[in-house]
Amino acid sequence: MASPLSKHPADLLTIGELAARSGTRTSALRFYEAEGLISATRSGAGHRRYPRSTLRRVAFVRAGREIGLSIDEIRASLATLPADRTPTKADWARLSRSWRHHLDTRIRYLERLRSDLTSCIGCGCLSLTSCRLQNRDDELARTGDGAPLLRSDG
């Protein structure tokens, strides 16, 4: 792949410009770069410069995070994009379709959570001994990190 700096300088964005155009904090952009989700080259003065196509990648990363994908899942998805050219609409559509299973799983989880919370709030039991979401004395700590009563695998 050609270096982004070989393009016309007007086709490159500073980190501040990328942040403003994408609505993403510069610290998040640095994190995305450190995680290999986006890449920048450096100017002669050592400043980051991003090709305009990075805007699409950032939007994709943000969409993935919104639906609950991990950084590793997003990285794996982005790795399927062509390295020798800017991704096309068809490339993005194919990649987005691959997320359908994850979205469907997330929707089922959220619907179950909504039902559990509705029944909990509406049950009126006010009983910590029979509440489905109760975790007396942190008994669930032995099952590992996180909130096992709210996890999609719980």
pLDDT grade for 154, boundaries at 50, 70 and 90: very low
On whether both 68 and 22 belong to a single domain, the answer is yes
CB-CB contact of 60 with 92 (8 Å) = yes
Residue 133 and residue 62 in one domain: no
Q: Do 30 and 83 belong to one domain?
A: yes
CATH of the domain at 75: 1.10.1660.10
Are 66 and 122 within one domain?
no
Q: Looking at per-residue confidence, does 89 or 149 come out higher?
A: 89
Q: What is the mean pLDDT of residues 81-105?
A: 83
Residue 91: pLDDT over 80: yes
**How many CB atoms lie under 10 A from the CB of residue 132?**
11
**DSSP-derived 3-state class of residue 130:** coil
Answer whether residue 38 is part of any domain.
Answer: yes
User: According to the model, what pLDDT value does residue 1 have?
Assistant: 39
Looking at the structure, tell me whether residues 65 and 128 fall in a common domain. no
Average pLDDT, the chain: 79
Question: What does the block give as tokens for 97?
Answer: 């379709």
**Backbone CA torsion sign across 52, 56, 57, 59:** positive
Length of the chain: 154
Rounded to two decimals, the pTM is: 0.65
| Domain tally, the chain | 2
The pLDDT assigned to 87 comes to 79
Rounded Cα gap, residues 135 and 143, in angstroms = 12
Residues 61 and 129 in one domain: no
End-to-end Cα, the chain, rounded Å: 44
What is the average per-residue pLDDT within 72-98?
84
> Half-sphere exposure of 127 toward its Cβ, with a 13 Å CA cutoff?
7
d(CA 68, CA 65): 5
Distance CA 143, CA 149 (A): 10
Q: What percent of the chain has pLDDT over 70?
A: 69
Residue 34 structural domain? 4-98
| pLDDT tens digits for range 97-137 | 888 888 898 899 888 888 777 666 656 555 555 565 565 55
- Band (pLDDT 50/70/90 cuts) for residue 6 is very low
In a domain, 25, yes or no: yes
From 61, 74, 67, 77, select the one nearest 152 (Cα to Cα): 67
Would 150 be classed as within a structural domain?
no
pLDDT tens digit sequence for 54-69: 998 899 899 889 888 8
